Structure 1
């Protein structure tokens, strides 16, 4: 359950995704050139790592043709929240670029800490460039994010930097909680929610609040942050569902990948704590060191579902989506961007269902 292991990009199949896909495509067209320019300004050695991680090129900087998340949800939320409080289409562009730079930093460092060996269907950056160079690339991306906000309008820059700093502290706390969760035999749902709040929800909330700041929002900033945080909870719950039951053609990962790694995602923790025979059988399997065969993984997934944990995760996602929309409505956004934000939220809901 990490920010580094989100479900497939919401823009996958955007032509079939309706309103939400069109909103992401529109904001992606605004965001992509500025984000690429920011990455290309990095020192050559770290730029090579960042571009590889983003899927833009191979380890020798030969083009790979991937979009690198340029229609990803965080920058889209920043731009749409800026529009929702009165900014033009590019009014919150510094916020969009900054949050995606931070997201990329968190993925690079998260892959290291989690031992994640693959990313975008190929070896993760740290396995190609080594741990020290990958750490430096993440650090450089974080500095670039700070520079991006600091270069903005003075009336916004200082508030934006404080907001980003708070989000980064939450992100670090969430990563620390994730490390505890990975080795905690008696993990609870509260532990899972702490990880989600720090590693996923905090950055989505930051994207929305920074976007609203750059759009000139005042009280709306707080409500937009709450919208993003609740949406982040739903997004991570979708990731947890996909990590067990997702189609590899969409996730880019083997089926039942979270179970194969004995990951304690929210559905797994709920199953382990269910007090059921299925939960006890799952716990016994997690305590072994044996590699699970495909047949065993399929059986373990059925055990998790039998405890009601999949239904619980979907219900929590729906509850958080409803809360997110309520916060959005309370902010009094302009109708057009508000409709776009609701459509993006619906995409998240579809993935969590």
Structure 2
């Protein structure tokens, strides 16, 4: 099924609120300076490796106007502070911490998956070596906790109390554990011929949903929100994360390299059991059975031709995997928005949460 005119990945696009670009820009503007400052604390050469990975420098260390990612997580952290009635700045430490953990996961994932490109250039491990990528990833993860604890100190520039900072640390470390668990499941799935849709959703809830859930609640936690508010925002982020990953899974098969910045057919080449694949395998028809036979065949694993991978993508689509995943993205998007009804907030803040959710589901990269 090809995406219809005016759609991305088959999800109908509505008029995009102008505020989305501004929300993402605000996240970068407020969170990038403290993010750069904390990364600069790393010992050489880790500081240079991290700067390259974030897109701030080239491989020789020269500054570049790079693509540092969409900055959805920092934008969510700032919004969640506003949902709790605090200024957006109250969520900056949360945005920085979540972005550090997110990039820890990207550095390690690229190495484990053997990905050689990200954001339209060579991945850090291919430039600086696997050992440096591992060390820098580890360092970024620990820096996230330091940033949150510092938020309750005079140098942190935040109104967070020590108790609020401790709650935020718990939120982030729990999300990090779930993220690692999700990645471990994802890797194990590559060695299995069949993975159920339920198993795939559980894996993606950890790998992607957990950190977006933390981002959507962490600003509110730092602002002293009660558990009811924080829990509702976390549910919003959880379901938004599953919608985000569903779209990512679609792009991992049908996305164009020149747009996504990732290898063409990357997920199929690694025989990842992403949502479209799991849904297609569960369908049980002729295309589903042929797909299962291909995935079980050890011959050519990782070395299939473009023609073979294109034929496999067609089987997934014929078995309904693409359509099911598009519908799952819509379902999760709707459930995420329903969670916002439990949080009293201004119409402007609510509208911004809705706009970000729309952006996550209707995208090409």
Q: State the TM-score, normalizing by the size of structure 1.
A: 0.90
Alignment of 1:330-349 (within 5 A): 330-349=342-361
- 2:313 is aligned, of 301, 323, 332, to 301
Contact 2:104 2:137 in 1 (8 A): yes
Contact 1:24 1:76 in 2 (8 A): yes
Match of 1:271 in 2: 280
Contact 1:86 1:216 in 2 (8 A): no
The C-alpha deviation readout for 1:108-162, integer Å capped at 9, x for no partner, is: 1122222222222222211222222211111111121111001122131111111
Relative distance call for 1:45 and 1:254 in structure 2 (3 A) is closer
Match of 1:44 in 2: 44
Match of 1:140 in 2: 139
Relative distance call for 1:352 and 1:119 in structure 2 (3 A) is closer
Query: Are positions 1:251 and 2:260 aligned together?
Result: yes
The alpha-carbon deviation at position 333 of structure 1 amounts to: 2.2
The alpha-carbon deviation at position 261 of structure 1 amounts to: 2.8
Q: Distance in 2 between matches of 1:157 and 1:346?
A: 30
Query: Quick check: 343-352 or 188-197, which moved more?
Result: 343-352
Gaps of 5+ in 2: 1-7, 9-15, 153-161
Query: Quick check: 171-180 or 193-202, which moved more?
Result: 171-180
Contact 1:48 1:61 in 2 (8 A): yes
Q: Distance in 2 between matches of 1:80 and 1:322?
A: 19
Match of 1:149 in 2: 148
Alignment size in residue pairs: 338
Relative distance call for 1:223 and 1:352 in structure 2 (3 A) is farther
Contact 2:24 2:71 in 1 (8 A): yes
Match of 1:91 in 2: 90
Query: Are positions 1:316 and 2:328 aligned together?
Result: yes
Query: Quick check: 310-319 or 332-341, which moved more?
Result: 332-341
- 1:201 is aligned, of 204, 209, 232, to 209
Match of 1:76 in 2: 75
Relative distance call for 1:220 and 1:352 in structure 2 (3 A) is farther
Relative distance call for 1:272 and 1:164 in structure 2 (3 A) is same
Match of 1:5 in 2: none
- 2:178 is aligned, of 145, 150, 170, to 170
Query: Are positions 1:238 and 2:247 aligned together?
Result: yes
Q: Distance in 1 between matches of 2:279 and 2:119?
A: 28
Match of 1:101 in 2: 100
The C-alpha deviation readout for 1:282-337, integer Å capped at 9, x for no partner, is: 22333243333333332222211111111110111111111100111211222212
The C-alpha deviation readout for 1:10-39, integer Å capped at 9, x for no partner, is: xxxxxx773322221223222222222221
Gaps of 5+ in 1: 1-7, 9-15
Relative distance call for 1:142 and 1:116 in structure 2 (3 A) is same
Q: Distance in 2 between matches of 1:302 and 1:164?
A: 39
Q: State the TM-score, normalizing by the size of structure 2.
A: 0.87
Q: Distance in 2 between matches of 1:125 and 1:23?
A: 28
Contact 2:260 2:364 in 1 (8 A): no
Secondary structure of the corresponding residue to residue 283 of structure 2: coil
Contact 1:17 1:347 in 2 (8 A): no
Q: Distance in 1 between matches of 2:184 and 2:262?
A: 25
Relative distance call for 1:185 and 1:294 in structure 2 (3 A) is closer
Contact 2:115 2:263 in 1 (8 A): no
Relative distance call for 1:184 and 1:296 in structure 2 (3 A) is closer
Relative distance call for 1:312 and 1:285 in structure 2 (3 A) is same
Q: Distance in 2 between matches of 1:63 and 1:336?
A: 36
Secondary structure of the corresponding residue to residue 75 of structure 1: helix
Query: Quick check: 255-264 or 265-274, which moved more?
Result: 255-264
Q: Distance in 2 between matches of 1:29 and 1:179?
A: 35
Relative distance call for 1:209 and 1:349 in structure 2 (3 A) is same
